Chains A and B, each alone.
Chain A
Amino acid sequence: MSTRLGETEQTFAVVSRRTRLRPTSKVVVLTGVVMIFAFLTLVPLGFLLWQTFTEGGALTFDAVARAYSADALGGMAVSSVTFAVGTAVLAVPLGTVLAYLTMRTDMPFKGPLFVAALTPLVIPGILHTIAWIFLTSPRIGPLSQLLAMLPGSPTIDIFSIWGMIWVEGLHLTPLVFLLMAAAFRSMDPSLEEVALASGASLPRVFTRITLPLVKPALFASILITGIRALEAFEVPALLGIPRGIWVFTSRIWRALERVPSDFGLAGAFAISLLVITSVLVFLYARLGKRSQRYQTVTGKGFRPRVVSLGRWKGPAVIFAISYVTVAVVLPLLNLLYISTQRFYAQPSLETIANATFDNYRYTFTHPQVLRAFRNSMVLGIGAATALVLLTAVASWLVVRSRARGRSAVDHLASIPLVIPGLVVGVALLVVYLRVPVPIYGTLWILFIAYLTRYLPYGMRYSSSSMYQVGSELEESAYVSGASWWYTFRRVHLPLLVPGLVAGWIYIVIVSVRELSSSILLYSPGNEVLSVLIWEQWENGQFTELAALGVVMVAILMVLVAVVRRLGARIGIREIA
């Protein structure tokens, strides 16, 4: 027996009968939200296609031809694939093992490891990449120094495809960790216990029982790391371009950086990338549909009993400590060190003794930095607030209504998942250079870019919260005589608040980290923090950059701590 509400059609019918042509607030609000969604997702894509495939009003494949006749196209394809596959090969096993150790074993220090494994999530990609350049730079990088002490004095060249894979892989490991931790958490531990009781060794149980059970999450991790690597801009730009290692994103960047910008060429690369990511996301969505979609959001279920590591405990601890040291502590510590120096020098007792707060003083007083702070915060908070409210309404439409085409709204909101940030940037550039709306050169264009990019995140937070609000809570409001809009404001919104706040902070975090669309859309005076770091890097202001980076990471960490608190609360407290 259905428990959903069937009064959508009915309201329309009655309205048209009783008060002709006077639309209700419900119709107005819902139509408005759907139109904004369409505007955010379809308009940029449409313009991108139009720009790429037309020339003076005629259909042309000229841009595509130029893109694919470019020399070293084969090289670009090969390095793109190598980069994506390599990143997945590094990040997936690393994140999986870490997640298994923290979620399912009796390893000591699990709590600190959990926090440490997630920390890199808040480090903006640009900062992460620069931190690794610092760490491995010949002669003065601490890691190079350590290696020089080893026999044969090996050296690292971070400016190579291997360096790119290493840095991107480490950057995406926390994402894999999160996905796999959720899968391990919701796994029935008795299945492993039976295998152990039958005399199988621990590694055998892990490969034969545990891994197959979390296969859907594992495939999802592989696809997501692959997609994210293909979309990544920071690593290929900073590490690849200097040595002529090109991937899709750096090609798009190059096409736009040259004067005059070649929008057709950028569009051709962008659409190629779009096609590839769409295929991967489609595979991912099919995967998600087959496994249970919401298995981890309820917070119900058992607390898995832990597996005893036995003689593997020592190696496990060593592995975890080395990971945390290399991936988290060293880069951040080095950044912290550099931020206290007057100029970038090899760490020594002398330089540490000469530490100074000048860079922090600069960071907190320089008008350009302060303006970037303000811009990032205004944009992050503005985008998060707008998205949370829009998606709250849309999630009612998708989850609770029986309106025709409601699933189309859901699909519309997930379109940006397949659009790399750089492509969003290109598309919006095309739109607002053509359309006579004075948005280009203001913060508004960045605002629209963030809305587009993070629409799917907002939608996910909102609809999973909406699923938790029982439909009878809403129906009893209607029976009590409340209108849809009154019910939405007085019943839904208050009950959605915990989930919306978590989503809000998450969107603030990712917006502040955002670089790949901002880098194309900002104009002088409208820099955001990540763009400022990019500029400081180009200007060689390494020590100021380090101080700014440290401040940024600190702020984002606080926000993440708040999210986790809230996330835990929502998980426990189920609403009707």
Chain B
Amino acid sequence: MTGSTARTVVEAESTTGDGTAVVVESLVKTFEDGGSSSRKQFTAVDGVSFIVERGTMFTLLGPSGCGKTTTLRCIAGLETPDQGTIIVDGRTFTSTTNGINLPVNQRGLGMVFQSYAIWPHLDVYQNVAFPIKALPRKRRPSSRETRARIERVLDVVQLSDLENRPATDLSGGQQQRLALARALVMEPPLLLLDEPLSNLDAKLREEMRFELKRLQRELGITTVYVTHDQIEALSMSKKIAVMNGGKIEQIGRPREIYDKPASRFVAGFIGISNLFAGVVSTAGPDNARVVETDLGTLRVRVFADMPRGTQVLAVVRPEQIELDTVSDGETEWVGSVRARAFVGDAVEHMVRMRNGADVRVKSSPTVSIPPGTKVQLRFAEEDCTVVPGA
């Protein structure tokens, strides 16, 4: 599995600490867009850099077309980047400055595709055996060793009793686990998962989410996970990179991403957010700021350089807001309930504010305010995140 030919200078240069398994640096990938007539370039990945700690799950999260899958395919070697460096486990896969790009079949990674890509003409056992059979004869393990390895990995994904089933007879969840077994059988240094849960129905998806996380933890395998589903990302990852338009908007632990979105895009993409446009009116010490909005004044702390006069957006999650019925005297943060809906574990209210904006509020099921009622929004100012506006 060690393509010694590819070990180069770059490896020495990038003294990846023992904790770092994957380094992606300044990755750029463009495609020719459209037909042969219009030679338009489309930049799918635009200067993406990140590192992945050994044994952790790193998630690339973003809407379709944000470049997350292309990034993953560059790591796999299925796409050739125009620029950038990719180092996995100290091996340089790609380094455009050194003219290195290791072919996909010499990278020795495991990958699960969105469609699973189970070979329909092979049975379960043969599917898992494929990566071993594809080895050059010299490096192929003995047939006993091969069998033991396959049985071990089938056991890990709980498919042992289906060994001789044609792969096409498996259910969606079983195919998923088979794809995982095939990706793991060579004990790769890095596992790549491309939206592996998106073809499953909702209930199975939830089950597999926990299953995947358990496996990843138990095997301690470094994993790069691509998804557009924020719940998958938040629940499974050690770190998340939120991507948009080929760029990474924010990298952080799930909590950071959720609680402290760094940009309007992240705030809007992760969960449901209410955004209030405003201007920094006073810049105090310790990042304390006063923000004036149409609806009221906020005293908040910020995490970026925001001098007086900066256009900002205040982000408040629906579940962080409480509603109070109010008298006519109040002027800050008031509106009237436009609609309410009982959604099982909560009641959602839509409040039309003075300035015409709608605010979503998620309250406990005991709170239910009829439409037309005047209300005031209450929220702790530390729950409010300020991101650069417009």
Contacts and interface: CB of A to CB of B under 8 A. Distances in A.
Residue from A14, A480, A482 having most chain B Cβ neighbours under 10 A: A480
Nearest to A5: B78
Contacts of B192: 479
A2 B120 contact: no
A483 B134 contact: yes
A479 B109 contact: yes
B105 A13 contact: no
Interface stretch (A181-189, A274-282, A440-448, A488-496): A488-496
Given A14-B102, A475-B113, A480-B182, A576 B120 contact: yes
A115 to B, nearest CB: 31
Nearest to A472: B117
B110 interface: yes
Interface string B96-124: 00010111111111110111011111000
A576 B135 contact: no
Interface in A1-42: 1-2, 5-7, 9-11, 13-14, 17-18
A477 interface: yes
B50 interface: no
A1 B64 contact: yes
Given A482-B130, A576-B115, 16 more contacts: A2-B31, A7-B78, A10-B77, A10-B101, A470-B115, A476-B111, A478-B103, A479-B76, A479-B78, A479-B104, A479-B111, A482-B105, A483-B105, A483-B134, A495-B119, A576-B117
Given A2-B31, A18-B5, A491-B119, A475 B78 contact: yes
B186 interface: yes
Given A7-B78, A494-B121, A477 B5 contact: no
Contacts of B109: 479
Residue from A476, A479, A486 having most chain B Cβ neighbours under 10 A: A479
- Is the interface on chain B under 10, 10 to 19, 20 to 34, or 35 or more residues? 35 or more
Interface in B16-41: 31
B131 interface: yes
A109 B192 CA distance: 57
A482 B120 contact: no
Contacts of A56: none
Contacts of B130: 477, 480, 482, 490
Contact of A7 (B31, B65, B77): B77
A6 B120 CA distance: 24
Contact of B78 (A6, A11, A17, A494): A6
B85 interface: no
A470 B80 contact: no
Interface in B260-292: none
Interface string A333-345: 0000000000000
Interface of A: 1-2, 5-7, 9-11, 13-14, 17-18, 470, 472-473, 475-483, 486, 490-491, 494-495, 575-576
A479 B130 CA distance: 11
Interface in B41-86: 44, 64-65, 69-70, 76-80
A494 B104 CA distance: 22
Contacts of A491: 119
Contacts of B186: 480-481
15 contacts: A2-B70, A2-B79, A7-B103, A11-B103, A13-B101, A472-B113, A475-B113, A476-B113, A478-B77, A478-B105, A479-B111, A481-B108, A482-B131, A491-B119, A495-B119
Contacts of A490: 130, 133-134
A184 B186 CA distance: 51
A17 B103 CA distance: 12
Contacts of B5: 18
Contacts of B107: 479
A470 B119 CA distance: 10
A2 B119 CA distance: 21
Given A6-B79, A479-B76, A481-B108, A473 B134 contact: no
B2 to A, nearest CB: 12
Smallest CB-CB A-B distances: 9 pairs: A480-B131, A482-B134, A476-B117, A472-B117, A10-B80, A478-B104, A494-B121, A472-B113, A479-B111
A290 B160 CA distance: 51
A102 to B, nearest CB: 33
A576 B119 CA distance: 9
Nearest to B70: A1
A141 to B, nearest CB: 54
A475 B115 CA distance: 11
A501 to B, nearest CB: 14
A478 B102 CA distance: 12
B103 A477 contact: no
A473 B104 contact: no
Contacts of A478: 77-78, 103-105
Contacts of A2: 31, 44, 70, 79
Nearest to B121: A494
Contacts of A7: 77-78, 80, 103-104
Contacts of B114: 472
A399 to B, nearest CB: 16
A481 B80 contact: no
A481 B79 contact: no
A477 B134 contact: yes
Nearest to B76: A479
Nearest to B192: A479
A473 B119 CA distance: 6
Contacts of B103: 7, 10-11, 14, 478
Contacts of B78: 5-7, 475, 478-479
B183 to A, nearest CB: 8
Nearest to B186: A481
B195 to A, nearest CB: 11
B117 A470 contact: yes
Contacts of B119: 473, 476-477, 491, 495
B4 to A, nearest CB: 11
B49 to A, nearest CB: 20
